[in-house]
């Protein structure tokens, strides 16, 4: 079976074709970074219009790269939520319309389930059960994953997510959009120990996250010390170190709580080198293993939607002719797959 995956939840247009026997056959991705850079963040209306322009050409390119035609497909999957409602509607409308025109079943995919399952695209995928740390855009959550669709949220952000805190702190430091990766790059030149940032909500029980206070602490530090490049790098290092340490502490708690030895990290922030290194060291000490997708599949992409869509297609979770999207869609409301 082969399925076409369409991702348009925010500021990346991703298309992919997944074969349940041969794996990923082809994928294309267009980033809107340059489009939104002048505004310092994603402009929803501009994002939606750009998806309208790019989705069909990328579908044609992906089919060509795979050497396939629509007659070779067995389904169409598209991101139905969560995300920007206008952007979601573009992908959902195109996906549902193509499925109807090609006489194929249509599958609505949960964006965060796509991220959670992205490591399954690798040569050494994790086995169930495992703890998943999802750090993507406006989401930071810890999930007990017992199978596809069998998710229990152990903790989540109560205000700013980790990715938002990275981007907002970078903006305060005058870094161009997207600021998170630029801040991480700057942190590589930082001096450890010069600044000490708090580890929010680690001094109390529980697995929830809060990065709003850390962002405020960063703002006050920047305001009083932003005087030279090395100082800026030192602040970036201290901020990143605090976020990474906080995430690692919560991961360790979740693993001890569940008794699992496998940890998955996915989403845009999972590409952070410092986070990967700390979690790998931690899991080695716990005699466990950490899994994550390749860097290109950490950010939004069509491959993860195609993979998740294939699992839902096999479970016969098909959409009717209506076009429905869910800007807010709790991941623990999904149907488990036996």
Annotated binding site for Fe cation: 111, 115, 300
Query: CATH top-level class for 2-117+297-333?
Result: alpha beta
Give residue 226's pLDDT. 67
Annotated binding site for substrate: 134-138, 167, 180, 272
- The answer to whether residues 112 and 145 touch, using CB atoms and an 8 Å cutoff, is no
Annotated binding site: 111, 115, 134-138, 167, 180, 272, 300
- Evaluate whether 2-117+297-333 and 127-292 have a shared fold: yes
- The answer to whether residues 161 and 169 touch, using CB atoms and an 8 Å cutoff, is no
Cα–Cα distance list, 50 to 9, 30, 53, 110, 323 (Å): 12, 10, 5, 22, 20
Superfamily of domain 127-292: ATPase, nucleotide binding domain (3.30.420.40)
- The answer to whether residues 335 and 63 touch, using CB atoms and an 8 Å cutoff, is no
pTM for this one? 0.96
> Using one digit for the tens of pLDDT, what is the confidence trace for 148-186?
999 999 999 999 999 999 999 999 999 998 899 999 999
| Terminal alpha carbon distance of the chain | 19
> Using one digit for the tens of pLDDT, what is the confidence trace for 34-79?
999 999 899 999 999 999 999 999 999 999 999 999 999 999 999 9
Give residue 235's pLDDT. 96
**Which stretch of DSSP H or E encloses residue 29?**
strand 23-31
Alpha carbon distance 91, 98 (integer Å): 10
Cα angle, residue 302 at apex, residues 300 and 304 outer, rounded to 5°: 80
- The answer to whether residues 3 and 59 touch, using CB atoms and an 8 Å cutoff, is no
The domain spans of the chain are 2-117+297-333, 127-292
Q: State the average pLDDT over residues 219-238.
A: 90
């Amino acid at each position: 079976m082969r399925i076409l995956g369409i991702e348009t939840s925010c500021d990346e247009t991703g298309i992919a074709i997944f074969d349940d026997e041969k794996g990923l056959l082809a994928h294309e991705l267009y980033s809107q970074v340059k489009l939104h850079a002048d505004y310092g963040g994603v402009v929803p209306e501009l994002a939606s219009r750009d998806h309208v322009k790019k989705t069909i050409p990328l579908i044609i390119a992906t089919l060509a790269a795979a050497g396939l035609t629509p007659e070779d497909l067995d389904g169409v999957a598209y991101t139905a939520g969560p995300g920007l409602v206008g952007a979601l509607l573009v992908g959902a409308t195109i996906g549902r319309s193509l499925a109807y025109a090609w006489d194929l079943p249509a599958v609505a995919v949960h964006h965060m389930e796509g991220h959670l399952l992205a490591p399954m695209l690798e040569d050494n995928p994790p086995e169930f059960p495992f703890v998943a740390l999802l750090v993507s855009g406006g989401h930071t959550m810890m999930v007990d994953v017992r199978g596809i669709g069998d998710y229990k949220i152990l903790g989540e952000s109560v205000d700013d997510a980790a990715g938002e805190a990275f981007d907002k702190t970078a903006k305060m430091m005058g870094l161009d959009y997207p600021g998170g990766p630029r801040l991480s790059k700057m942190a590589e030149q930082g001096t450890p120990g010069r600044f000490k940032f708090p580890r929010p909500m680690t001094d109390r029980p529980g697995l929830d996250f809060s990065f709003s206070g850390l962002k405020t602490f960063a703002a006050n530090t920047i305001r009083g010390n932003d005087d030279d490049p090395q100082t800026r790098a030192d602040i970036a290092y201290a901020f990143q170190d605090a976020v990474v340490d906080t995430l690692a502490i919560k991961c360790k708690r979740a693993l001890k709580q569940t008794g699992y030895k496998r940890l998955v990290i996915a989403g845009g922030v999972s590409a952070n080198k410092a986070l990967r290194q700390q979690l790998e060291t931690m899991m080695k000490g716990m005699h466990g293993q950490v899994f994550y997708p390749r860097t290109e599949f950490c950010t939004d992409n069509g491959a993860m939607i195609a993979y998740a869509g294939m699992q839902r297609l096999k479970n016969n979770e098909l959409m009717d002719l209506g076009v429905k999207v869910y800007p807010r869609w709790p991941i623990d409301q999904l149907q488990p797959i036996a």
